[in-house]
Structure 1
């Protein structure tokens, strides 16, 4: 079942960190991984993220379920970039007709895939250890984000599990009526498109009702808002940001020392 609730133990060290501090750490790691075009820098950053796992309190099962599609996408990126590289450099590893893969193209493709893995893993770790309401409170209090936008985004996030449940209801109802794609890919695609359109129509109607209800309750008011739960940046939160910056600097320094670092 799709859920936006944190899947970590509430007493885990990372779970108690201010959401803005965790976002800052993710931005630092992801930016460093995206700027560096070599393979060693994102590999070191990914290793650092794996070392943090024991402090997140996340159970292995939910983490694997949240990461499997993202890591599969990263693997697909590696394969596509290795096969369709503009230039095959280095030693030839694989050749089958017009398809060729060389060491240089594979290394460059691996670097791209590792950057995707760093950004995806860091993002999943943050959202899996953060309550959405705490995140919205921190954004409005620490980053002074507009309350209208933040609360609207929080309400949209709260609707995701409902949309997932509706998708299952629609597919189950159509299966009960004999509407299945079977082995025909075109029929499966047509059925998927129809189901997606039905879900989209229902989501737009629900969003309109939700917006009207929120306006009726004063969410659109320009009056300064108060907060039921205060979010503050403590020394431990600043330490997390500093640790992320230190890890980024160390990864770049090690890559420079090995002579592999190149920037986009």
Structure 2
């Protein structure tokens, strides 16, 4: 009940994001990510992350909601930072070493930069793609970006089958447990269920391909679309925000003197 109430509270304040075309969200994520990948420094990543957190708060994204949605990013960021801390490029004073692992001033700075950068790149994607309809995304890719309809429809069909695979996995687990063969041998159970799911996926994919071919989805003729995918003012506002964040992050790094291109 509380989750429903929380979603109802957050929904009105996220209407701006919901009005944006899914392909615009994808373009904004790419526009924000590309400049941050050109440099490895903590200032640009920290600047982008602070601005993003402020925008998250303005959009009504609560910390609990962000943690629930972005927990894989929150786990991956420190793991990436620890690997850079131990095995990054050594420079400056050395504090600890063991075989190939060395902690130095350079590895510490690199670890901080990588950790913050993973958060700055991953968290916006979580917010932008929090509620994206695959069909709307396919409409935008085909009508706005003019991608081949055969590729778009095939990707859409594959995305729709992911939910079925998850349901099939749960159904197989329950059926095996009902027969008394699902309580022991974790590795063996996983291998047998994965093979069964693979066979089921191949059969279902073959049937789906045949059905789509019979309905003319493989034709080279131009297709018509049930719903029009358009670009409005909210899309341009999101692009402007992403561009401004990228420029502010790179500008801050250059102003402070920490800009460090990845190719140098």
TM-score, structure 1 as length reference: 0.84
Q: Summarize the alignment of residues 1-264 of structure 1 with structure 2, pairs less than 5 Å apart.
A: 9=11, 12-54=15-57, 56=59, 63-87=66-90, 89-90=92-93, 92=95, 99-176=101-178, 177-181=180-184, 187-264=185-262
Q: 2:147 and 2:162 mapped to 1: Cα distance?
A: 22
Determine if contact 1:17/1:237 at 8 Å carries over to the other structure. yes
Displacement of 1:99 after TM fit? 5.0
Judging changes above 3 Å, is the alpha-carbon distance between structure 1 residues 150 and 168 closer, same or farther for their aligned structure 2 residues? Answer: same
In structure 2, C-alpha distance between the alignment counterparts of 1:206 and 1:240, rounded to whole Å: 39
Cα deviation per residue 1:4-44 (whole Å; 9 max; x = unaligned)? xxx87376111101222211110011111211211121222
| Alignment partners' CA distance in 2, 1:195 and 1:169 | 10
Contact 1:28 1:244 in 2 (8 A): yes
**Runs of 5+ consecutive residues of structure 2 not aligned to the other structure:** 1-6
Contact 2:87 2:100 in 1 (8 A): no
CA distance in 1, matches of 2:108, 2:208: 49
2: CA distance between counterparts of 1:145 and 1:23? 14
1:169 and 1:145 map into 2 onto residues whose CA distance is 36
Two-structure CA RMSD over aligned residues (Å): 2.5
Partners of 1:21 and 1:241 within 8 A in 2: yes
Distance 2:140 2:48 in 1: 26
Out of 133-142 and 168-177, give the one that drifted further. 168-177
- Deviation string 1:93-124 (CA, Å, 9 cap, x unpaired) is x5678754334212212322333323322222
The answer to whether the Cα contact below 8 Å between 1:9 and 1:58 also exists between their aligned partners in 2 is no
Q: In structure 2, how many angstroms separate the alpha carbons of the residues matched to 1:64 and 1:205?
A: 38
Contact 2:45 2:116 in 1 (8 A): yes
TM-score, structure 2 normalization? 0.84
* Bigger mean CA deviation after superposition, 24-33 or 231-240: 231-240
Report the CA distance between 1:68 and its aligned residue: 1.0
State the number of aligned residues. 252
- Using a 3 Å threshold, how does the CA distance of structure 1 residues 148 and 194 change in structure 2: closer, same or farther? same
1:40·1:260 contact (CA, 8 Å) conserved in 2?
yes
